[in-house]
Every structure is written in C-alpha cells, then in structure tokens.
Amino acid sequence: MEKETKNLVLHADGDSFFVACELTLRPELQGKPVIVGEDRGIAVAMSKEAKKLGVTRGMPIFKIKKLYPEVVILPHHFDLYHEISSKMQQILLSYCQIVEVYSIDECFALVEPAEIKYFGNEKKFLTELKNEIEKTLKVTYSFGLARTKALAKQASKLEKPNGVVLLLSKDDEIEALKKTSIDDIWGIGKQTIPRLKNKKIKTAYDFINFSEVELEKYFSASLVDLQKELKGEYIFKVTDQADPRDQKSIQATSTFRPASTDSKIIWREISENAERACTNARELKLVTNKISFFIKTSDFKYYFEEIKIPLYTRDPGVILNALELKFPKILKVGKKIRSTGVILHNLFREENTPRDLFEEQIKVLENGKIEEVADKIRAKYGRGMIKRAASLKRKV
Ligand SMILES: [Mg+2]
C-alpha cells in the first residue's frame, strides 16, 4: 500500500541523441550508419547502424573514413539539439511538476501518485508519455522509473535504445542491480572502480551489499549516499533548481569583434575565459581534471581540443599551461575566429575529490601548492611547456 502514496522518479535518456536530432532534418539517412563529430575529429554520437559496423565513441574520423567509407559523417548542430531538448522538457512538464534537466539529452522528473492514477498504472503513464514525445519530436528516449534517482538512472540504461524499464518492487530492483556491472554505475569515478573490484564488488548488487562502514572509511561519503539510493532510499532530490555545486561542467565564452586571426588576441581571450571559469569554480569549491577549449570561426564552425590533467585543480595557471600545449593545433584552422570558450569538465566537489588518486592530492588542494601540480604536468607533458600564470602573455 505504501508504494501508492509515494512519488517515483523518472529518468529519460535520449537514444543516440545528436544523431537522432540530425535525422529529424534528414529523414533520408534513417537506417544508415551515421555519426556526428566531424568538427571534433572524432565520433561523438553514432546511429545504431554505425555502432553495428564497429564505430565506437571517440574513434578518429580519418580512421572511420578509411575503415567504413559508407558511414555518413556530420558536424554538430547544437542549436538544433537545444531546441529538441527544450521541447522535451516542455512535454515532461505537462506530466510532472518537477523536471530536472540533467544534460542536453537527459532529464529526471518527479512522478506523483495522482498522475499515475490518472493514467491507470505506471506502464500506461509511460506509454502515453513516450508516444507523445516520439510523435512530437521524432526522436526516441529510453526511460527508467523507480524509487530513487540512482535506480531510475540505472533502469533507463537496461534496455537501450527505446527501452522502458520499471522498477516497482524490491525484486525488480535486485534483478536490475544484478545485471548492472560496477563499471556502469552512475556516480562512481573511473579511478574508484578498480579499488571496488579489489573488494570483490563486480555488480551494483555487490555494491549495495558492501559494508557501509568500510565504504565510508576507505572511499567517500558520496559513495555511501549512492549506496543508499541504490537500496531505495530517496537521497538525491529531483529539483528544478539545481544546486550549482552539482554541475558537471563550467563554461566561459567570449565573442570578439572584429573576428581575428591574431594568435595573441585569441590567446588573450582564451586566458580570460579560463580565469573566469576558474573563478566560478573557486567560488563553488569545485575542482576539475579535464578541460577543453574551443574556437568558433566566422563561418560558425566549432573546433574543440580536450586535455586531461593528472590531478584535480582549479588553478588558472595550471589550466592555462595545459591549454597552451594544444593551442598551436587549434590555430592551424587558419580561419578568422569569432569566439572562444573554455570548459571545465568532470567537476568534483573539493571535499569529494577521489581519495584513491594520490595521497598528495589533498595536500596540494589544501596548501594550494600549485607547483606540485605543475610538476605532475611537466612529468606528463614535457618540460619547457610550463610557465607560471604570471608570465603568460597578458601584456598584449
Ligand atoms: Mg543519451
């Protein structure tokens, strides 16, 4: 009886979202191997036909052209993706009071018992919602419906694409968790997975049965919360006013006039973007280990570069030093540049920085011993590339 008085959490995840959006404008490509990512030089999204051929995410475009000449390769059209994404949000809002936009192709929503009752049961509710989305948007989503966000998120993955998975009883949950590998759990970092495997945790089911005390002691408090969520305790709230500390990326962009090919001007803009993004991260006490920057040319094409940093940081000096390595490459585009942007990805709350990385991680962050981080980067990227932030070319 209790089940009927409680809210459920819905998770919706777009199937091959960027490709699906492209197909709404080019229905003739339906059923063909299609990828998006030409402008980034790698496959970012693949149609199921492209996946079937063997194209994987991150595969370089030149390799795809060589191995699979039949694949249709498209650049990103972010305006189109955003348009479809916001329509999706509107549709969800006509069924649910609270909709949380998690990313461009993912939403959580709180489903109230009255809403389910209106349609008859959970299955009928989802069928109706799904039909409306497909008819209106011409793209498909996979859905998970469960007691918590973490469970709903796992559920939507289980029958992709075009899946509908309802976890309405404890038995459903256990069955789903047994099918979920520890590698595929939302919210467990890549560095943490091998350490959990060392503790003989192979599936999400093993994970919920692992000692909470040990989890807290050897891993992080956020994993304890995640474990509770997967056990069905509603901890992560669905909210339309997202906590800014939960954001996974911070972006700072600037457009300049006139468009320029002057590397000094472009670098100055990138530096300012990096500093702004870092200031934002500092205010929120967030750290990153992955950054990217992009330029947009005057003919509206985007070029991205992505860089991983061996430790978590938000120091603009460290970040600029890393960006500088890829700067010459992005300049090779040789076109007039209209705007630039810097994005900090993989954001972590400072207090949740994975403890398993390096012991000195915490020390570095606490003491602000930036030189130590710079040393790590030097070791990884080579000497001579690192300068202090103060010595960067700001005197343009
Ligand atoms: Mg998706």
Q: Tell me, yes or no, whether 321 and 188 share the same domain.
A: no
Pick from 168, 197, 213: which residue ends a domain? 168
366 inside domain: yes
Q: Tell me, yes or no, whether 111 and 9 share the same domain.
A: yes
135 inside domain: yes
Enumerate residues 6+ apart whose C-beta is below 8 A from 374.
Answer: 317, 318, 321, 386
Give residue 325's pLDDT.
Answer: 86
pLDDT tens-place string over residues 228-274: 999 999 999 998 876 778 788 898 888 877 889 888 889 989 999 99
CA of 392 to the centre of ligand 1 (A): 39
Q: Are strands 302-313 and 286-297 parallel, antiparallel or unpaired?
A: antiparallel
- Are 344 and 314 in contact, with CB atoms under 8 Å apart? yes
Q: Which residues of the chain have pLDDT under 50?
A: 1-4, 369, 381-396
Note the helical H segments in the chain.
Answer: 17-25, 48-53, 61-67, 78-93, 113-119, 122-137, 149-158, 170-179, 192-198, 204-209, 212-218, 221-230, 263-284, 316-331, 360-367, 370-381
Q: Tell me, yes or no, whether 6 and 100 share the same domain.
A: yes
Q: Tell me, yes or no, whether 188 and 120 share the same domain.
A: no
Q: Are strands 141-146 and 164-166 parallel, antiparallel or unpaired?
A: parallel
The pTM for the full model equals: 0.66
The CATH number covering residue 138 comes to 3.30.70.270
pLDDT tens-place string over residues 85-98: 989 988 998 888 89
Pick from 134, 168, 202: which residue ends a domain? 168
Partnered with residue 34 across adjacent β-strands are 72
The CATH number covering residue 271 comes to 3.30.1490.100
The 3 state secondary structure assigned to 236-253 is: CCCCCCCCHHHCCCEEEE
CA distance 393 to 396: 7
> Residue 211 corresponds to which tokens in the numbers above?
């000692």
Partnered with residue 143 across adjacent β-strands are 12, 164
The CATH number covering residue 201 comes to 1.10.150.20
CA of 13 to the centre of ligand 1 (A): 5
Give residue 256's pLDDT.
Answer: 79
347 inside domain: yes
Q: Tell me, yes or no, whether 186 and 248 share the same domain.
A: no
266 inside domain: yes
Q: What is the distance between the terminal CA atoms of the chain, rounded to a whole angstrom? A: 70
Partnered with residue 198 across adjacent β-strands are none
Give residue 1's pLDDT.
Answer: 42
- Residue 327: CB atoms within 10 Å: 16
Q: Tell me, yes or no, whether 82 and 205 share the same domain.
A: no
State which amino acid sits at residue 37. Answer: G
Q: Tell me, yes or no, whether 229 and 91 share the same domain.
A: no
Supply φ then ψ for residue 114, to 5 degrees.
-60, -35
The 3 state secondary structure assigned to 313-352 is: ECCHHHHHHHHHHHHHHHHCCCCCEEEEEEEEECCEEHHH
Q: Tell me, yes or no, whether 348 and 331 share the same domain.
A: yes
Give residue 332's pLDDT.
Answer: 85
12 inside domain: yes
State which residues have CB under 5 angstroms from ligand 1, the bound ion. Answer: 13-14, 17, 105
365 inside domain: yes
Work out how many domains the chain is built from and give that number: 3
Q: Tell me, yes or no, whether 5 and 150 share the same domain.
A: yes
CA of 324 to the centre of ligand 1 (A): 32
b/e map of 79-103 (b: 16 or more CB within 10 Å)?
eebeebbeebbebbeebbebbbbbe
CA of 17 to the centre of ligand 1 (A): 6
Q: Tell me, yes or no, whether 32 and 102 share the same domain.
A: yes
Rg (CA), the chain: 23
375 inside domain: yes
> Residue 327 corresponds to which tokens in the numbers above?
């700067």
396 inside domain: no
Range of the domain at 38: 1-168
Q: Tell me, yes or no, whether 261 and 379 share the same domain.
A: yes
Q: Tell me, yes or no, whether 207 and 252 share the same domain.
A: no
Pick from 146, 168, 190: which residue ends a domain? 168
CA of 126 to the centre of ligand 1 (A): 18
CA of 103 to the centre of ligand 1 (A): 9
